[in-house]
Amino acid sequence: MFPRGADIRLVSGHPEVYEPCDDSFALVDALLADRGNLLNHQARFCMEIGCGSGYVITSLAIILGKENSGIHYFTSDINPNATSVTQRTLDAHGVHAEIVNTDIASGLQKRLVGMMDVIVVNPPYVPTPEEEVSCEGITASWAGGYNGRTVIDRILPVVDELLSDTGWLYMVTLTANNPSEICLVMRRKGYASRIVLQRSTEEESLYVIKFWRDGVDDVQDKDITSSSLGLGSWFGK
């Protein structure tokens, strides 16, 4: 039996930090579903943007850990309580990640350009009024602004800078985020995409999407539409 990720009983908590929930479990389950590919990926650097409780980055380190001791992990969160909680969660599992308290990857993105082999993101995707975005505390973990896209749309160009030529992004999205349009945005940056996991809960339909550069340069905007990518049918429009 291979490791299934972090032990939920060892995940630390704080009133102002998002607890692992359906979306966190969906992201870890997607990483487990793609475990074979991840193990063959020969990653050197992995990163989680927005680590919250640390459940996902700890799980990633455990899933990749035993067979891949040379991997180094970075993670960030805008909430200082979250970075402290993540440290405790990592310590409780005996794994390590370098933690930075920052907005997305501010301060890291200049020197880490093109170095990340795997980036995982469970972004604040809940549609909210714009003024709730980047509030202090736990609100920052879920408040996503218009269509839940405000923070996602800030994260995507940063991820594009950080990923290596062979790097992969795994990101949680919601139907309301218009995931096919997110795929289109990434297609124009040269990324292919596929849904690794789809899960409907009582409240929401979640998609964990994997993105990778498919080596097509100079993609012409006019050639790319949602229908040409066949995305409409994926997301149950």
Partner 1 sequence: MRLLTHNMLSSNVKGVVNGFPLRLEASTWVEKEVDFNADFLRSMFSKIDWPALFGAAQTVGYVALPESADASMLESEDFLKKFHHALLEIHVEEGALVCPETGRRFPINKGIPNMLLNEDEV
Return residues touching partner 1 (CB under 8 A).
Answer: 44, 69-70, 72, 74, 78, 80, 83-84, 87, 98-103, 106-108, 110-112, 115
- Min. distance of Cβ 132 from partner 1 in angstroms? 16
**Size of the chain in residues:** 237
Q: Residue 3 CB, nearest distance to partner 1 (Å)?
A: 18
- Are the C-beta atoms of residues 93 and 10 closer than 8 Å to each other? yes
The secondary structure of the chain in percent helix, strand, coil, rounded to multiples of 5, reads: 40, 25, 40
Q: Judged by CB, which is closer to partner 1: 101, or 226? A: 101
Phi-psi region of 137 (alpha: psi -120 to 50; beta: other; left: phi over 0): left
Name the residue nearer to partner 1 (CB basis): 28 or 71. Answer: 71
User: Closest approach of Cβ 14 to partner 1, in Å?
Assistant: 14
Which CB, 41 or 187, lies closer to partner 1? 41
106 versus 166: smaller Cβ distance to partner 1: 106
How is residue 134 written in tokens?
């980047």
Q: Least distance (Å) from partner 1 to the CB of residue 43? A: 11
Give the integer Cα–Cα distance in Å for 44 and 27. 20
Tokens of 40: 């063959």
Q: Which of 79, 119, 73 is nearest to 93 (CA)?
A: 73
Q: What are phi and psi for residue 35, nearest 5 degrees?
A: -55, -45
Q: CB nearer to partner 1: give 74 or 235.
A: 74
Q: How far apart are CA 189 and CA 168, in angstroms?
A: 13
Q: What's the closest the beta carbon of residue 223 comes to partner 1, in angstroms? A: 35
Q: Give the Cα separation of 60 and 96 in Å (integer).
A: 11
Taking the complex as a whole, the smallest distance from the CB of residue 187 to partner 1 amounts, in Å, to 29
- d(Cα 58, Cα 89) in Å, to the nearest integer? 7
- Give the nearer residue to partner 1 in terms of CB position, either 82 or 196: 82
